[in-house]
Amino acid sequence: MYEQVDTGPLYDQAVQLLSTYRSVAARMATARASTRGKLDRRLEQLGEQISERLGELAEHERMALTGWRDGIIAGTYDVDHEALMEQPYESIRRIDRWTEEYDPADYETTQPVSASSNPNAELLKFLRTGLD
């Protein structure tokens, strides 16, 4: 089971920005020294945009995302670089699943069969109605 959260267009933009941040950060690991400066500036810009977007999201939308943490100042949010890079193939959208336990005895639907009714006889009677 899982619970679905209603989200808006700002949520989709935040997901896209976090995904772009993760891609640029992964590219940074194998980039040349001359390119690293450009990528570093791009990461800073993306980090600022993500912080703004996270501040605009509702609490339930923010909780449906991974890869962010509370900022130093109350009410601000930062990119959690380690969390994003730790599992690069995991979804940025948080997916929490849990199993529900139930007692099968609660769902059994057994109908009492009366002694006078014979299901085979009733079936034969039904099948012969078209022949008479």
pLDDT of amino acid 81: 81
Residues 48 and 120: their CA atoms lie apart, in Å, by 75
Q: Which residues contact 101 (CB under 8 A, 6 or more apart)?
A: none
Given a cut of 70, whether residue 110 has pLDDT beyond it is no
**Does pLDDT of 109 surpass 70?**
no
pLDDT tens for 36-86 read: 999 999 999 999 999 899 889 888 888 888 888 888 888 888 888 888 888
Maximum mean pLDDT: which of 57-61, 89-93, 101-105, 106-110: 57-61
Mean pLDDT of 99-112: 71
Cα–Cα distance for residue pair 82/34, rounded to 1 Å:
24
Average pLDDT of the chain is 82
Q: Phi and psi of 2, rounded to 5°?
A: -155, 160
DSSP designation for 58 = -
CB-based contacts of 3, cutoff 8 Å, min separation 6 = 96
pLDDT of residue 103: 74
Pairing of strands 77-79, 68-70: antiparallel
| Unique residue bearing structure tokens 């999201």 | 57
State percent of the chain over pLDDT 70. Answer: 87
Q: Report how far residue 40's alpha carbon sits from residue 13's, in angstroms, rounded to the nearest whole number.
A: 21
* Token code pair at residue 60: 């339930």
Q: What's the confidence (pLDDT) of residue 61? A: 86
Mean pLDDT of the region 15-29: 90
